[in-house]
Amino acid sequence: MLMVRFAIAAALATMMLVVPAAAQQRPQIETRKVDGTDNVYIFRNGGHQSIFIVTKDGVIATDPIAYGRPTGGQQYVDEIKKVTDKPIKYLIYSHHHFDHIAGGKAFKEAGARIIGHKNIKPHLVATQDPFTVMPDEFFDGKKTINLGGTTLELIYLGPNHSDSNIVMRLPKEKLIFVVDTIPVGAFPGLGFIDMYPLETESFIKKVIALDWDRLIPGHPGQPNDRLGTKKDAEDVLTLMQEASAEIKKQAQEGKCWEPAVKDFQMPKYATMPGYQAGLNFVARRYCSLWGRGT
Ligand SMILES: [Zn+2]
């Protein structure tokens, strides 16, 4: 009993020592310029991130990433103001999920025009989330924003992680910003809940075919906040194809949901961050597809 008590006390002491140190290393909010660019910044709030581009005629911002953080939108606006005194002209939504687009009110009040794919609208109309602002403008296909010498393309390539995810491409900088569909260096997880499995494979192939060198993800890349490459996109596609083929076999043997979901392993990826937690989400999504038809 004494030993147990000692072990618990030691574990608590370790936690108390470790947690504040880790928190100090990584502030909640961080803004950094993307290497090799003059004016592209990554804004991170906790485990979410988005980009903003500063031009001589104003700022193009993306995803407010303020879900569960009532002051997060204003904090993002304030971070932009530390970099430039130019007005925020646009706020672009990557897709409709609140963890990425809640918090737009502060941008709207700062005068930004909010733009998103047309499929965002029915989701926001249906849910009426009090913290998520409706776009001023919707587009389909492709829309190009030119501001102060910067070109930003907004490209819809079909359903993927949701039916409203777009690719944002900076052609001069050869950068793309893609949220949730192509994790960088991490095993897929929660993002699989309501994704479109077959369409996502063709989406990733279309993304790879675009002209770009580096991918900025909506959650920091692993390790060390790195950006992604085409190799990362190819690796995610391979992982999905392997998972899909394995569960398809199980499903057609009548093993979905159980035991297919419970027994699912991808040992090749076992050392990736998020592997254990993600297996269940991946297996369930493909069991839904191959074992149920949805
Ligand atoms: Zn999402």
Q: How far is CA 52 from the centre of its chain?
A: 15
Q: What phi and psi values does residue 133 have, to the nearest 5 degrees?
A: -85, 135
Q: Which of 147, 88, 95 is nearest to 116 (CA)?
A: 95
CB 114 within 8 A of CB 135: yes
Residue 100 CA to ligand 1 center (angstroms) comes to: 7
Rounded Cα distance between 240 and 234, Å, is 10
Q: Which of 193, 236, 241 is nearest to 217 (CA)?
A: 236
> Which residues have beta carbons under 5 A from ligand 1 (an ion)?
97, 180
Residue 97 CA to ligand 1 center (angstroms) comes to: 5
pTM for this entry: 0.91
CB 96 within 8 A of CB 126: no
pLDDT score, position 25: 79
Residue 50 CA to ligand 1 center (angstroms) comes to: 13
CB 197 within 8 A of CB 240: yes
Amino acid at the residue 7:
A
Residue 14 CA to ligand 1 center (angstroms) comes to: 34
Give the pair of three-digit tokens for residue 24: 């100090």
Residue 165 CA to ligand 1 center (angstroms) comes to: 8
Place of tokens 């609140």: 98
From first to last of its 294 residues, the chain has per-residue pLDDT tens of 444 444 444 444 444 444 444 445 799 999 999 999 999 999 999 999 999 999 999 999 999 999 999 999 999 999 999 999 999 999 999 999 999 999 999 999 999 999 999 999 999 999 999 999 999 999 999 999 999 999 999 999 999 999 999 999 999 999 999 999 999 999 999 999 999 999 999 999 999 999 999 999 999 999 999 999 999 999 999 999 999 999 999 999 999 999 999 999 999 999 999 999 999 999 999 999 999 999
